[in-house]
Amino acid sequence: MSNPLSATILGAGLLGRLLGVALVRAGWQVELREQAPDPEHAGGAARVAAAMLAPLAESAVTEPNVVAMGLYALPRWQALCASLPRPVFFQREGTLILWHRQDAREAHRFEALLRATAARLGSLPEPQPLHAEQLAQCEPAVAGRFAQALYLPGEGQLDGRAMLEALLAELHAHGAVVRWGAASTLADAMAASHRPGHWVFDCRGLGAQAEWPADGAAGSGPLRGVRGEVVRLYAPDVTLQRPTRLLHPRYPIYIAPKERHVFVIGATEIEADDRSPASVRSTLELLSAAYAVHPGFAEARILELNTECRPTLPDNLPAVRVRAPRVVQLNGLYRHGYLVAPAVCDAVLQYVLEGHTALAQQLGLTFVTPETLTA
């Protein structure tokens, strides 16, 4: 292969920054074009996400290939955090699953789904049932309020915003150019791809909606938004040590404890391309479920109440499409963006640098190249 050394990346959200850092570290000249006016407002879905890295918990609601991508990604995130000059909160203390006695049927259903995926993949850690005393040892803050729980070992989370900032600092440190307030179309950027050895990567998430066709091929559109509402709280009286999910037939929630008693509580999942402010109903449901997990949330302070839409393809799975020579679209990360992004990026890098898609095939990532389209 020739040795391509420059790229335009559309979108400085999660995928754009992650891919940009990999490329600048490999010696490429990179320009990112981001529609947001400044770093504070950039990041789309990645800015509001809880950034949980929970392949086992997610296996109850997603396909085994997403779980496989998540398992691949966990050590990749760990290695990336260790290599960044500024610290980013990252932990692998597992996930705790709780339910109220009346929702035991929901818990059985959840556990059965986890075990089915574990049996299919063969490489997932087993969920560990905890009785009340074991739960009190594992997570003392909820002792006495729940009779049993499930512990999912090895799962992780990170501070998404700190990660976005650290990636941006790394991009700058390697001389990448980031253009803010630079809303772009794929057509604009494709003109640049005619320069020898220049690549274009479209990482605009939902901003790429108009250019993600519904053509019936694998990974085709339409790309849609799935609305999520999340609350960010400061709760000095709460000391959860790991992401905790409350199973509930109507409003399941998660509580992701970040550093310094900040908690991200989410998230609703509504089939709507609607970024209007959070509804009263959603806010009540999220906050009362959090209060049911720990009464210390009563005195918490609401730092933010955010709404964003998850970029989602019809099959709810991520996909990569090589639209034209050296023009690659990455999208459809839905509710698993942090979980799968390192796998998606590595698969794209392998295609760009080595000219094949073995990793995508291994992980079951839809990766459409001109060759697969004509095959």
Ligand X SMILES: Cc1cc2nc3c(=O)[nH]c(=O)nc-3n(C[C@H](O)[C@H](O)[C@H](O)COP(=O)(O)OP(=O)(O)OC[C@H]3O[C@@H](n4cnc5c(N)ncnc54)[C@H](O)[C@@H]3O)c2cc1C
Which residues face 253 on adjacent strands? 246
What is the smallest separation between the CB atom of 30 and ligand X, expressed in angstroms? 14
For the beta carbon of residue 280, count every other beta carbon within 10 angstroms. 8
Nearest distance from C-beta of residue 180 to ligand X, angstroms: 10
Tell me the two tokens of residue 317.
Answer: 């799975």
Contact by Cβ (8 Å): 352, 343: no
Could you give the strand order of the β-sheet that contains 90-91, starting from the edge strand earlier in sequence? 52-53, 156-158, 90-91
202 binds ligand X (CB under 6 A): no
370 contacts: CB under 8 Å, gap ≥ 6: 322, 325
Least Å distance, CB 183 to ligand X, is: 4
User: Using omega within 30 degrees of 0 as the cis cutoff, is the peptide bond preceding 64 cis?
Assistant: no
Give the binding range for ligand X (CB under 6 A) out of 84-92, 197-205, 292-300, 348-356: 197-205
Residue 33 as a binder of ligand X (CB under 6 A): the answer is yes
CA max distance for the chain: 65
Stretch of 79-87, 89-97, 140-148, 199-207 contacting ligand X, by CB under 6 A: 199-207
Does 90 interact with ligand X (rule: CB under 6 A)? Answer: no
Q: Return the residue of 21, 30, 48, 368 that touches ligand X, per CB under 6 A.
A: 48
Binding status of residue 21 toward ligand X by CB under 6 A: no
Measured CA to CA in angstroms, residue 131 lies from 30, 134, 147, 149 at distances of: 52, 5, 6, 7
| Distance of alpha carbon 145 from alpha carbon 99, whole angstroms | 10
Asked if residue 364 lies in contact with residue 117, where contact means CB atoms within 8 angstroms, the answer is no
Instruction: Rule CB under 6 A: say whether 51 interacts with ligand X.
Output: yes
Q: Rule CB under 6 A: is residue 44 a binding residue for ligand X?
A: yes
Comparing CB distances to ligand X, the nearer of 102 and 247 is: 247
- Closest approach, Cβ 136 to ligand X, in A, equals 27
49 binds ligand X (CB under 6 A): yes
Least Cβ distance, residue 35 to ligand X (angstroms) = 4
Nearest approach in angstroms of CB 266 to ligand X is: 5
Bridge partners (DSSP) listed for residue 264? 232, 256
Stretch that binds ligand X, among 78-86, 122-130, 169-177, 201-209 (CB under 6 A): 201-209
Rg (Cα) of the chain, in Å, rounded? 21
- Based on the shown chain and the rule CB under 6 A, indicate whether residue 7 belongs to the binding site for ligand X: no
Contact status: 60 vs ligand X (CB under 6 A): no
Cα–Cα distance list, 346 to 198, 342, 352, 353, 357 (Å): 19, 6, 10, 10, 10
> Restricting to residues 307-346, which ones interact with ligand X according to CB under 6 A?
308, 310-311, 331, 333-339
Name the token pair of 359: 């990793």
Give the residue with the Cβ less far from ligand X, 136 or 192. Answer: 192
- Say whether residue 252 binds ligand X (CB under 6 A): no
Position 253 contacts ligand X (CB under 6 A): no
Please check whether residue 146 is in contact with residue 101, taking contact to mean a CB–CB distance below 8 angstroms: no
Q: Given candidates 8, 62, 184, 366, which one binds ligand X under the rule CB under 6 A? A: 184
Tell me whether residue 57 or residue 143 sits nearer to ligand X (CB atom): 57
Cβ pair 46, 164 in contact under 8 A = yes
Residue 158's DSSP bridge partners are: 90
CB of 311 to ligand X, least distance (A): 5
Q: Which of 116, 132, 143, 183 binds ligand X (CB under 6 A)?
A: 183
Which C-beta is closer to ligand X: that of 40 or that of 371? 40
Residue whose CB is less far from ligand X, 16 or 94? 16
**DSSP-derived secondary structure for 260-324:** TTEEEEE---BS----SPPPHHHHHHHHHHHHHH-GGGGG-EEEEEEEEEEEE-TTS--EEEEEE
* Contact residues: ligand X, CB under 6 A: 10-16, 33-36, 42-46, 48-52, 183-184, 203-205, 207, 228, 230, 266-267, 308, 310-311, 331, 333-339
